A = this chain, B = another copy of it.
Amino acid sequence: MRKHIPNHAKLVFKGTRHDVYQWEEEMFDGTKGIFEAVRRKDGVTIVAVVGDKIMVNSEEQPFIGKFLGLPAGEAEGEDSLQDAKRELLEETGYVSDDWEHWFTSEPKTSARLFFDNHFFIARDCRKVAEPRFDSGERMEVVLRTFDEFISMWDNPDFRNIELSPMLEAASFDASKKEELRRKIFG
C-alpha cells in the first residue's frame, strides 16, 4: 500500500530531523492535487546481548523525559551497520564481533511519514570503554534476563514499540518464545 516519496517531489522544508516534500498527484477527476509527506532521519536500534542478558537501559532525554530503551541513534550515513556500531560504543562503551541486521521497521500510523528504523542484533558484547554521552542524553546501562526483556511488551515506559508485538507473542506462546530466544542469542 505505501510507496516511496516520488523522485520528482520538491523539498519544501529541511529541518534538523524532518524534511518535508510536496508534489503534484493526478486526482480521480483528472485535476492535480498537492501531496505532502515527511521524511524523518533514519534510525538504528540495537538488541545487545551480554552473556545471557540483554541490554535495556534506563534513559533520560530533554523534552522526552525518562524511558526504558535499547541502544539507538540516528543513521547518519549510508551504512546503517556502521551507525549501529558507533551508537553502541558511544552510548554504552560496548562492542561486538557478531552483528546481524534483524529487520527494518516503518511507522504505520501515517502513509505520509517516512522513517526507517534499522534493528540489529549484536551478540557477545563486551565492554571496552566508558560511555560518552552527548549533551542530550543520560543513560544507565541495565542488563536484563530474557524473561525480563520479553515482559517489556506492556511496560508503558518501554520505547521500542516496534518490538512489542513480538515480545507479547513470546510471552504467551512457548514456541514463539524459543524462536525469539534462538534469534537473539544465536
Contacts and interface: CB of A to CB of B under 8 A. Distances in A.
A1 interface: yes
Interface in A142-186: 156-157, 159, 161-162, 165
Interface residues of A, number: 50
A13 B13 contact: yes
A173 to B, nearest CB: 10
A36 interface: yes
Contact of A161 (B40, B64, B108, B133): B108
Contacts of A29: 135
B3 A65 contact: yes
Total copies of this chain within the assembly: 2
A35 B15 contact: no
A20 B157 CA distance: 26
A31 B156 CA distance: 30
A63 to B, nearest CB: 5
A52 B107 CA distance: 33
Interface string A23-39: 00111110101111010
12 contacts: A1-B64, A13-B13, A16-B22, A16-B34, A18-B20, A25-B63, A27-B136, A28-B135, A35-B62, A40-B112, A63-B111, A109-B113
